[in-house]
Structure 1
Amino acid sequence: MDIIGLIWWLFFFYLLMAPQFHFWNLRAARNRLLKEIANKRGSTVITLIHRQESIGLFGIPIYKFISIEDSEEILRAIRSAPKDKPIDLIIHTPGGLVLAASQIARALKNHPAETRVIVPHYAMSGGTLIALAADKIIMDKNAVLGPVDPQLGQYPAPSIVKAVEEKGKENVEDKTLILADVAKKAIKQVENFVYWLLKDKYGEEKAKELAKILTEGRWTHDYPITVDEAIKLGLKVDTDVPEEIYLLMELYKQPVRERGTVEYQTVSNHK
C-alpha cells in the first residue's frame, strides 16, 4: 500500500472511531463525577438523562425518550441499591412511554429509604410522573415539570373526549367513539396512578385534587409548570440543586457543530 492509500485509510478510521473515543471519554468522566456525588450525598445516584448525543458514524445524533430499556435498567439499579440508603434520581427528559415511566415511579415509591428526584432543567410528561413518586422533588429555580395527561397517538386524550362531547356522539364515526372510550380509560388510569403516588405524602383529598389537575387536560401537554406554579398547586418542591449536578449535565453534550448556538463569558474578578 502506498503512502497516499495509507493516509486515506487512517483518515477513514479517524472519521469512524473519533465519535466513539469522544463518547468513551465522556462516559468515564460521568462515572467519576457520579461516584463523587454518591459519596458526598451518601446515596445511590441514578441518571435518566435524555439529550442528543453524537455517537454514531460521522456524529449523527440520536434522540432519546423514556423507553422500556430505561425502565429495565433503572429497576435493576433501584433493586440493587442498599435498602437503608437514599436514592437520588437525576431526571432530564421530554417524557416517553407511560408504561416505562409508571414502572420506574412505582419502584421509586416502594424504595424503603428516602428518594429524591433532581430536575436541573426539565422533566416533562413521564418525567413528571416519576418525580411525583419521590419523597422530595429538587428543582433548579428555572426548571419545569409538565402535565401528565395521556396522549393517544398525536392527540391528547382529554381533547379527544372533549371533541366528542362537543360534537355529540351521534355526529361522529364509530372509530372516533372507540378512540374516545380508550381516551377516557387512559385518563382514569393515569389519574388513579398519580393519586396512589401522592396519597401518602399529601393526604387523600389533596392527592385527588392534584391527580385531577395534572391529568384533566387543563393545559397543553408541553405546558411548563414552573417551581412557583408547582408550589402554588401544592407540590412540595425544594430548589437546593447540588452544584455537581450542573457539572454532570455539561458532560451530556448536544451534537458537535462548527459553532455552538449559545456562547458566554463572565466578567473577570481580576484587575
Structure 2
Amino acid sequence: MNFGFTDIIWIVFLVFTVLPMVQQRSIAVRRFNLLRKIEEQRQSRVISLIHRQEAISLLGIPISRYINVEDSEHILRAIRLTPDDMPIDLILHTPGGLVLASEQIARALQQHRAKVTVFVPHYAMSGGTMISLAADEIVLDPNAVLGPVDPQLGQYPAASILQVVQQKNINRIDDNTLILADMAAKAVRQVQEFVEILLLDKLPAAKAKELAKMLAEGRWTHDYPITCEKLREMELPSVCNEMPLEVYELMELYPQPAQQRPSVQYIPLPYDKKLPG
C-alpha cells in the first residue's frame, strides 16, 4: 500500500488528536481506581477537589481552575448519595474560588452526620480554608498550609478598600470607591458570620467569634500561610504527618502542563539509607 504525503499528514493529525484522549482516559481510570482503593481502606466516601493547571486540546492550552458553582453542584450531589452514617473524606487542593460555591460545600459538609475529614496535601487557600473549617478533622502534610478567608473584590482585598475610606477624606473619594467600600463591608461581615457558624460546633462561642474575625478581617495578606502548628494554636482539630500515601499518589495523577525546560528535577525514589560516597 502506497501512502502519499496527504495520507501521512492525516495519520499524524489523527495520532496527535487521539493519543491525548487515550492518555486522558487512562489517567481518569487510574484516578477512579485510586479513589476506590482509599474508600475501601477507610470505609468512607472519598471526594476529591483538586485544582491545578491542566493541558487541554490539541494546542495544550493551560487553564487555571478554582472553586466554582459546578464544583459545588458535583460535591453536593456526592454528599446526597452518601449514607448518613458513612464518613466523608475530602481531598482538597485549591487556591480558592467563589464564596457562594465554597459556602455551599462547607454547609453541606457540616450538616453531614458522620465524621468529615479534609486532607490537604499541599494547600487549600481562601475558599478551600472555608471548606476545611467545616470538617471534623483537618489532616495536613507537615508543610501544607491553609489561608485567610478575607473576601476579595476583583483585584483588591475588601479590607484594603475599607482602609482607603477610613484614611482618606470622603470628599476626595470617587463614587465607585465608595460603592466598593459598601460592598466590601458587607462581604467581610457576611464571611465572618458564616465562618463563626462553622466554628461554633468546635469552639466556645467567644473563641469562635474571635477566630472568625481574625480570619476574615484582613489581618494578613490573602496568601498568608496558616500551618498545622498555627491551627493548633487556634485550637482547631488538625493532624500533621498522617497523610495516607494514596493521597500523594492521587496528586501525581493531576500533572501540570509539560514544559520544555522543567524548573524542578529530582530522582523520584525514596532515599531510606545514606548513599555510598
- TM-score, normalised via structure 2 length: 0.93
Give per-residue Cα distances to partners, 1:225-263, cap 9 Å, x unaligned. Answer: 111222223322102111110111111101123343222
User: Structure 2 vs 1, CA of residues 183 and 36 (structure 1 numbering), >3 Å: closer, same or farther?
Assistant: same
Question: Does residue 1:6 correspond to 2:11, yes or no?
Answer: no
Query: 2:151–2:187: 8 Å Cα contact kept in structure 1?
Result: yes
SS at match of 2:96: coil
CA distance in 1, matches of 2:261, 2:171: 56
Matched ranges for 1:202-241 at <5 A: 202-239=203-240, 240-241=242-243
How big is the shift at 1:121? Answer: 0.2
Matched ranges for 1:185-204 at <5 A: 185-204=186-205
Query: 1:23–1:55: 8 Å Cα contact kept in structure 2?
Result: no
Aligned to 2:22: 21
Matched ranges for 1:109-148 at <5 A: 109-148=110-149
Query: 1:19–1:54: 8 Å Cα contact kept in structure 2?
Result: no
Note the residue ranges of structure 2 that are not aligned, 5 or more in a row: none
CA distance in 1, matches of 2:272, 2:15: 38
Give per-residue Cα distances to partners, 1:120-175, cap 9 Å, x unaligned. Answer: 00000000000001111111110010100001111100111111101132331222
CA distance in 2, matches of 1:224, 1:102: 21
Question: Does residue 1:32 correspond to 2:69, yes or no?
Answer: no
How big is the shift at 1:195? Answer: 0.2
Aligned to 2:257: 255
SS at match of 2:201: helix
- Greater fraction of residues in helix: 1
How big is the shift at 1:62? Answer: 2.0
- TM-score, normalised via structure 1 length: 0.95
Aligned to 1:155: 156
CA distance in 2, matches of 1:60, 1:8: 22
Give per-residue Cα distances to partners, 1:194-238, cap 9 Å, x unaligned. Answer: 000010111211110110000011111111111122222332210
User: Cα RMSD over matched residues?
Assistant: 1.6
CA distance in 2, matches of 1:187, 1:237: 25
CA distance in 1, matches of 2:174, 2:55: 45
> Relative to structure 2, which stretch is displaced further, 86-95 or 239-248?
239-248
Aligned to 2:47: 46
How big is the shift at 1:17? Answer: 2.2
SS at match of 1:17: helix
Query: 2:202–2:236: 8 Å Cα contact kept in structure 1?
Result: no
How big is the shift at 1:20? Answer: 1.7
Provide the identity percentage. Answer: 55
Amino acid of the structure 2 residue aligned with 1:135 = D
CA distance in 2, matches of 1:170, 1:234: 44
> Hey, which bits of structure 1, 4+ residues long, moved more than 3 A?
266-271
How big is the shift at 1:53? Answer: 1.4
Q: Of the candidates 236, 241, 244, which is equivalent to residue 242 of structure 1?
A: 244
Aligned length: 271
Amino acid of the structure 2 residue aligned with 1:181 = D
SS at match of 1:58: coil
CA distance in 2, matches of 1:144, 1:268: 26
CA distance in 1, matches of 2:262, 2:176: 47
Query: 2:136–2:237: 8 Å Cα contact kept in structure 1?
Result: no
Query: 1:15–1:58: 8 Å Cα contact kept in structure 2?
Result: no
Query: 1:129–1:194: 8 Å Cα contact kept in structure 2?
Result: yes
User: Structure 2 vs 1, CA of residues 129 and 188 (structure 1 numbering), >3 Å: closer, same or farther?
Assistant: same
> Relative to structure 2, which stretch is displaced further, 95-104 or 15-24?
15-24
